[in-house]
Structure 1
Amino acid sequence: MVKQVQKDFFYEIAAKFSEIFEDDSTEKAVKKAHLQNTPGKDAKITITDQRFTKSNIKVVGEEQYGGHRTKSDQGSTSQGKESGRVDV
């Protein structure tokens, strides 16, 4: 029986992106840079600061009998209560 857990790490990261814009004139290159909302795929990134905030560990799966469940092991077997009914 193999048990699997997943650990998620959460960090706050401050980063600097640098990107070069080229055009025929300085004004056109500045306009391209001004209209760019997000860094492009060729932008260089430098992480300037990082801070660990938290981590979580949770069970994500369990393999039994080669990953197959038996017919009787499928689904829920609890009957539960009927809520909201009152006998008078």
Structure 2
Amino acid sequence: MSGHLYSWEVRSPGSRRTGPGGITADRQRAVKDLTEALTSEEPGAWGTVWAVRLSRGRPAQYDYGGLVAQGFHDPQSGTIRVEGPDP
């Protein structure tokens, strides 16, 4: 086991708010959750999945490692595209 967790979040175009997001220990689940969340967001939304570890310091926070995947809700075609390096 790598000790990594996977953080995912979605951002909507033209909005300062962060959309749905979460943390999971399962890389494939994080990518699936990102894909499902993008489906529910307006076209132009985008999101990321990052490998993270819980920091040992105080206050508790996540240390971000590598980018796992990026996703987009294409505003022209309406398709959802999620790309990233193979595990």
Q: Give the TM-score normalised by the residue count of structure 2.
A: 0.28
Q: Which has the larger radius of gyration?
A: 1
Q: Give the TM-score normalised by the residue count of structure 1.
A: 0.28
- 1 or 2 for the larger relative contact order (CA 8 Å, sep ≥6)? 1
